Amino acid sequence: MSTIEIRDLTKNYGKTTALSNVSVTFKENCIYGLLGRNGAGKSTLLNIISGRTFADSGEVIIDGVNATGNDSALCKVHLMSEQLLYNPSLKVKDMFKTASFYYPDFDMEYAMKLCSEYELDTNRKLSKLSTGYRTIAKAVNALACGAPIVLFDEPVLGLDANHRDLFYKHVVNRYSERPATYVISTHLIEETAGIIERAVIIKKGEVLFDKDTDEIRSMGYSVSGKAADVDEFAKGKELMGGDALGGLKTLYVKGSLENADIPEGLSAEPMNLQNIFIQLTNS
Amino acid sequence: MSANSIIANCKYQLYRLRSVPLFYLIWVIGSMLISATIRSLTEKVPFSLRETGQNGFDALIGIFIFAFMCANITDFFNTAAANGTSRTTACVSAYISSVIFSIISALEVSVIFPIMSLITGDDEMWGASLYGVNYVLYDEGWSDFAVRLRFLGIAIFSYIALCAVVILIASISYKLSNWAALIITLLLIFIPTGGIYFALGEDALASFWCSVVKLVGLADLVDPSSDAPFIGNASQGAAVFIGASLILLLISCLITRRSSVKPLAIKGS
């Protein structure tokens, strides 16, 4: 089992509320996308789950055990964050060795294989790596650690398109070989849309919803055409938002496209995850 | 706290400190060679390692231990946090590692010191002689083995206390912002020195330090009551060192219990 239950988590930084009564469950062996705008509270949530910072109130329960200050629960979690908590003077291979002290299932052979695929020199010190390669080193460490719960906070920060693509493939391959609970916090929604099974969307410190990605995609559709026709079609329908350009208009309508009776002259298509995210989180 | 986490932390911490015993050896050899070279050049005498030994080598090692622990302790906390370990476990593990590290360091001193004396022809003058010089102890009927064991014990317990001080300072700096930690640390240093002097006067300061010296088993040093050769109370000293270190550990655990992580800066980033 490797389930995380978040119960009524609240965290304030001075007068700023980072998380407000957040309750969400990350079920075992599932790839989650943790989505939210800048400052929504994603990193704070991941840091609290992994015990790097502490909530003002609420609980993090890992496999039925309160994780706050509890090693037996925390050792099931590995967080790959933007911050580098390993000593920057360590070589990449020494970082892996260090992680292997803590995670008995650390797969050194797999880590080395990934490093060679990314062309990452394991004899280089972490402090001497570029931002992108340091991200790769941390990502490889997280994928190889063997923890049943792996949290990724902006795992592709500074990576070029090729490395980002490679990373997503490695996540999927690793997940199929060795299922675990992965939570990926990212701003690159469309890139990760293909690998995440469920999405948790956070807005201003509160969970907007937690649904399967297919279910989210079926939440709405877009209708485009002449502004007057689109407005006529939208009458009485629940809208998420819209865009207008000259005399053309696009509206994002809540509901299933299959049940929608689209008039001639208008074009309709299912919304992608990023579009739905943007419409739901626009203030 | 779990045994696996403590073992993992200790493994990493001792792994990071693994080259320090080699540093001691390089220091000894280097300092002897440099002393002999300087003397040879300045006094225009042939190069010789005679009389290039170091009195109080064990005390010097104590300073090195303090410095190396200071340099690594934040990393110990961070690495523990990076790998699913609580702050309390990190503190306790650092303490256990420092006990092991102190024992290894003191054992190395006890091997190097006699060899250094043999090469340099100098007397083996331990810092632990503060609790009684070796020839006084011999006169009192102590065997050579017992004297060495006594020195070794005093060194180990004092090193552990030093490491506990480092863990406490690190805990304060981990919990607070850098400036606040600096102010608190300076206050901790200032209060038992200048603070007492300015607030209560010179006599109070002298009385405070006399009490500390008495507490660590060196009462006769500040209050000689007879002409008998001085032998300090080493077991009382050891008990105070270990007791104080455990109290400092407890305070450190309480301070860091809910501290957020404080990553080390990366040069150039």
* Residues A231-262 pLDDT 10s: 888 888 888 888 888 888 888 888 877 777 78
Computed on alpha carbons and rounded to an integer, the radius of gyration of chain B in Å comes to 21
Residue contact B264–A51, C-beta within 8 A: no
Give the pLDDT confidence score for residue B267 in this predicted structure.
Answer: 65
- Could you tell me where in chain A the CATH 3.30.70 domains are found? 218-281
In Å, how far from its chain's centre is CA A39?
14
Which of A231, A229, A211, A230 lies closest to A219 in space, CA to CA?
A211
Give the pLDDT confidence score for residue B122 in this predicted structure.
Answer: 85
**CATH fit for domain A218-281, picks 3.90.1200, 3.30.70, 2.40.50, 1.25.40:** 3.30.70
- Can you list the positions of beta strands (E) in B85-158? none
To the nearest whole angstrom, how far is the Cα of A95 from the nearest Cα of chain B? 10
Say if CB B173 and CB B74 are below 8 A apart.
yes
Residue contact B260–A84, C-beta within 8 A: no
Please state, in angstroms and as integers, the Cα–Cα distance from residue A131 to each residue in A82, A137, A231, B187, B268, following that order: 10, 10, 47, 39, 11
Q: Which of B11, B87, B263 sits opposite A101 (nearest CB)?
A: B11
> Which residues in chain A have their CB less than 8 angstroms from residue B84's CB?
50-51, 71, 74-78, 102-103, 147
Give the domain range for residue B114.
3-256
**What integer best gives the mean pLDDT of chain B?**
90
Give the pLDDT confidence score for residue A147 in this predicted structure.
Answer: 92
Give the pLDDT confidence score for residue A89 in this predicted structure.
Answer: 92
Residue contact A47–B264, C-beta within 8 A: no
**CATH fit for domain A4-215, picks 2.40.10.10, 3.40.50.620, 3.40.50.300, 3.30.1950.10:** 3.40.50.300
Residue contact B263–A101, C-beta within 8 A: no
How many structural domains does chain B have? 1
For chain A, what percent of residues have pLDDT higher than 90? 53
Q: Pick B23 or A247 by higher pLDDT.
A: B23
Say if CB B17 and CB B166 are below 8 A apart.
no
Give the pLDDT confidence score for residue A232 in this predicted structure.
Answer: 86
To the nearest whole angstrom, how far is the Cα of A46 from the nearest Cα of chain B? 12
Question: What is the mean predicted confidence (pLDDT) over A218-230?
Answer: 87
Of A256-265, B117-126, B187-196, where does mean pLDDT reach its minimum?
A256-265
Residue B166 exposure: Cα atoms within 13 Å on the Cβ side: 28
Q: Exposed, middle or buried: residue A260 (CB in 10 Å: 0-12, 13-18, 19+)?
A: middle
pLDDT tier at A204, thresholds 50, 70, 90: confident
Give the pLDDT confidence score for residue A105 in this predicted structure.
Answer: 92
Give the pLDDT confidence score for residue B268 in this predicted structure.
Answer: 58
Q: Is residue B269 over pLDDT 60?
A: no
Smallest CA–CA distance from B254 into chain A, residue? A69
Give the pLDDT confidence score for residue A125 in this predicted structure.
Answer: 95
Structure tokens at A165: 């693509």
Residue contact B12–A83, C-beta within 8 A: no
Smallest CA–CA distance from B78 into chain A, residue? A85
> Which residues in chain B have their CB less than 8 angstroms from residue A13's CB?
none
In Å, how far from its chain's centre is CA B116?
21
- Give the list of residues 6+ apart from residue B127 with CB closer than 8 angstroms, or none: B56, B57, B58, B59, B60, B62, B155
3-state secondary structure of A76: coil
Give the pLDDT confidence score for residue B73 in this predicted structure.
Answer: 92
| Measured distance CA(A117)–CA(A176) in Å, rounded | 19
Give the strand order in the sheet containing A267-270.
Answer: A239-245, A248-254, A220-226, A267-270
Which of B98, B85, B71, B239 lies closest to B164 in space, CA to CA?
B98
B262 in any annotated domain: no
The ipTM, to two decimals, is: 0.85
- Could you tell me where in chain A the CATH 3.40.50.300 domains are found? 4-215
Count other C-beta atoms under 10 Å from residue B182's C-beta: 13
Q: Is residue A283 over pLDDT 60?
A: no
Residue contact A75–B266, C-beta within 8 A: no
Give the pLDDT confidence score for residue A235 in this predicted structure.
Answer: 85
| Measured distance CA(B195)–CA(B46) in Å, rounded | 51
To the nearest whole angstrom, how far is the Cα of B87 from the nearest Cα of chain A? 7
For chain B, what percent of residues have pLDDT higher than 90? 56
